[in-house]
Structure 1
């Protein structure tokens, strides 16, 4: 009995670690629940229940012994789809019997501590290039390509920089959009840029919560109403912060 309880507890720990990594990395709620249930089933625990929200995971497993339930708190969330793919790969290896319980735990711990994001300079360069391309996509003129690149790159760098010192998500996005609006206005005022609205729109696109909004809709369609509404509210507040930063700049024109 004691061995069975210990095994069940270890399986729960593996499932929760997999779910935690996926949820922190931008995975959908239904995908997190499905992955945890599949991992538990692969280790012989068929009767499991999970409740996942953007800020926490409750997982319960019923075996021949007493029912075991554990809760973990999710305090930070980001976008790292490579980690989600890596956890999915481990889940498939567990289901096929290629990885045992101990090996799965070790691999998941390595993924949890792994930093797979690109260096900041590459992120800023990508944001800068994307800003210019978005500006063109919204029917801007090529003369505004460089101003949009500069405003978008500086704005994204400001977002990352402000978030390190002020760990309030919406405040850092407000300041970043304010910087973008100010730079865009200065470019047009100096005659370097021509269309202020197109430069601003293209530059703020790197701050828009696209993945968050997509996950909110997918969770709602999958029946996870609490997670879908909470993610939708977070996306709305993020968009509101971006719009407010731009509005503050335009109000002084």
Structure 2
């Protein structure tokens, strides 16, 4: 009996760790719940209940002993879809019987400790190039390509810096949008660029919460109303912060 209780506890820890990694890395709520339930069932615990929100996971499992329930808090969230894919791969391995409990614990701890993000300069370079390409896609002229590169890259670097200094994410996005608007205005004022609106639109695209909007819609369609509405509200506040930063520059300069 005591051995079964210990095993149930270990299975819960594995499921919760998998859910935590996925949720922190940008996974959808319904995907997190489904993955945790499937992993528990593969290890022999059929009676489980899982409730996931963007800021926490509640998971209960009923084995041969008393029902156990545990709550973990999610305080930091980012976008790392490679980790989501890696956890999904482990889940499929558990379901097929290729990965046992000990291997799952080791592999999930290894994934949790990984830092798979690209260096900041590489991210800034990608954001800069994306800004120029988005500007062209929105019918901007090639004369504005370089200003969009500069504004987009500087805006993204500003967001990363302010996000480390200020704990409020939306304030960081407001300041980053302000930097983008200011640099775009200066580039047009100095004759480097021509179409201010196209430069701004292309430059803010790396800051746009596309993944949040997508996950919010998918969670709402899957019936997860709390998670869908909260992610939608977060996406709205992000969009509002970006728009407010640009509007501040356009209104006063």
SS of residue in 1 equivalent to 2:180: helix
Aligned to 1:97: 97
Whole-Å separation in 2 of the counterparts to 1:145 and 1:220: 38
Cα distance in structure 2, aligned partners of 1:160 and 1:167: 11
SS class of match (2:70): strand
Matched residue, 1:130 = 130
CA distance in 2, matches of 1:159, 1:171: 9
**Matched residue, 1:216:** 216
Structure 1: distance between partners of 2:128 and 2:29: 31
Query: How far apart, CA to CA, are the structure 2 residues paired with 1:63 and 1:112?
Result: 27
Which blocks of at least 5 consecutive residues in structure 2 are unaligned? Answer: none
Tell me how far 1:168 sits from its aligned partner: 1.1
In 1, Cα distance between equivalents of 2:109 and 2:166: 28
Q: Secondary structure at the match of 1:5?
A: helix
What are the within-5 Å matches in structure 2 for residues 1-253 of structure 1?
Answer: 1-253=1-253
* Residues 69-117 of structure 1 deviation map (CA, whole Å, 9 limit, x = unaligned): 0000000000000000000000011111111111101100010010001
Distance 1:233 1:66 in 2: 38
Q: RMSD in angstroms over aligned alpha carbons?
A: 0.5
SS in 1 for 2:51: strand
What is the CA–CA distance in structure 2 between the aligned matches of 1:82 and 1:157, rounded to whole Å?
A: 23
Residue deviations 1:186-206, cap 9 Å, x none? 000000000000000000000
Deviations 1:90-148 (A, max 9, x none): 00111111111111011000100100011111100000000000001111001000100
Per-residue deviation, 1:63: 1.2
Q: TM-score, normalised by structure 2?
A: 0.99
Residues of 2 paired with 1:239 and 1:200: CA distance? 14
What do residues 162-217 of structure 1 show as CA deviations (whole Å, max 9, x unaligned)?
11111211010000000000000000000000000000000000000000000000
> What is the alpha-carbon distance in structure 2 between the residues aligned to residue 39 and residue 167 of structure 1?
35
TM-score by length of 1: 0.99
Alpha-carbon distance in structure 2 between the residues aligned to 1:66 and 1:95: 25
Aligned residue for 2:58, secondary structure, equals strand
Deviation, structure 1 residue 240: 0.3
Shift of 1:64: 1.4
Matched residue pairs, number? 253
Runs ≥4 residues deviating over 6 A: none
d(CA) in 2 for partners of 1:128, 1:246: 18
